[in-house]
Amino acid sequence: MTSQTPAALGYRMPAEWEPHIATWLSWPRREGISFPDSFDRVMPAMRAMVAALTESEQVCINVCSAAHEAEARQILQGLPMEQISFHIIPTNEPWCRDHGPIFLTRDLDPKLAIVDWDYNAWGNKYPPFDLDEIVPTRVADILKLPIFYPGMILEGGSIEVNSTGALLTTESCLLNRNRNPHLSRGEIEQRLQDYLNVREIFWLGDGIAGDDTDGHIDDLARFVSEHTVVTVVEEDRGDENYEPLQENLARLREMKIDNREIDVITLPMPKEIVRERLRLPASYANFYIANSCVLVPAFADPADESALSILRNLFPDRRVIGIDCRELIWGLGTFHCLTQQQPAV
């Protein structure tokens, strides 16, 4: 691959609401560590997610083998299979947002490219991750796309872009010593600018309680248009999320994109979910924007309807669908963590 950076070649990372040709997923493995003793119980949410996506766009599913594909097909039986393609790209765990390819687009041919960031399972927390680490290169091989290697650890859930050069992230994740201890904040910002073609980088502070990613942005704050961010807030002052989310809200309200203030919309947080004495990182911010729908995690919580109503107002041209994630969140992630969009070109 050329030594020039994607930005120098005119590539950029599109916003999630821009048109997709497909959504990529990595199908969970029964022997994986993401859903201890609850693999079968997460399958209804997986099926509901794929069912909604097939009405919107092609769904590309990474599987480890023919047997794994057969297992997935069994779960998805009755769905429009012409909308689903399977690819033998073995993975360790199902979190395609973090280990999957980051797609870039530009107006010239080749119009699509992939950035393959290094991956270490959120700071070496969950070995082995050798299969996950090479997923972007495998996808690039299948799609015959140019690929760029920044030489920096980064998960897709840790960044959020607005399509016109702004990027949101968190200090607690990107500056964590378990990711890139040899890089300074300025060097990390330079890689983001060079490989995603962003100009302005905005930093929030800490993530939510129970988030084993060290504070991914996709549980906290999301661009829903070029100048609008939706962010979660905790109303209960006694909850451990109250202070960090207030701090993030205050930072967002100070931010300006192209010298214009960001419109900040607040989303509620569901009540604390604890399982086997573990606080789980349940957040309505972990929604996924597909072409014709928005998939929103629901938790059989009084705040579900409020969160869905806010998001319906923000996405009037898409069907906003709440799907029960009480089992899925035991894996410490929901729909945004599971998905990776391939932009249309």
- Do you know the residue count of the chain? 345
- Token digits for 55? 């009405």
Question: In this structure, what DSSP letter does residue 76 have?
Answer: T
Alpha carbons 122 and 281: distance in angstroms, whole number: 15
- Token digits for 319? 């069907």
Rg (CA), the chain: 19
Q: Provide the H-helix boundaries in the chain.
A: 39-54, 66-75, 96-99, 121-124, 130-133, 135-143, 171-174, 185-196, 242-254, 304-314, 335-338
DSSP symbols for 217-265: GGGTEEEEETTEEEEE----TTSTTHHHHHHHHHHHHH-EETTEEPEEE
* Active-site annotation holds for 293: no
Helix (H) or strand (E) holding 20: strand 20-26
Query: Do residues 291 and 57 make contact, with C-beta atoms less than 8 angstroms apart?
Result: yes
Q: Which amino acid type is present at position 113?
A: A
Residues with Cβ within 8 Å of residue 316, at least 6 apart in sequence:
none
Beta bridge partners of 298: 324
Question: In this structure, what DSSP letter does residue 101 have?
Answer: P
Alpha carbons 327 and 334: distance in angstroms, whole number: 10
Query: Do residues 28 and 308 make contact, with C-beta atoms less than 8 angstroms apart?
Result: no
CA geometry: angle at 38 spanning 154 and 123, to 5°?
Answer: 20
Alpha carbons 151 and 327: distance in angstroms, whole number: 35
Catalytic residues: 337
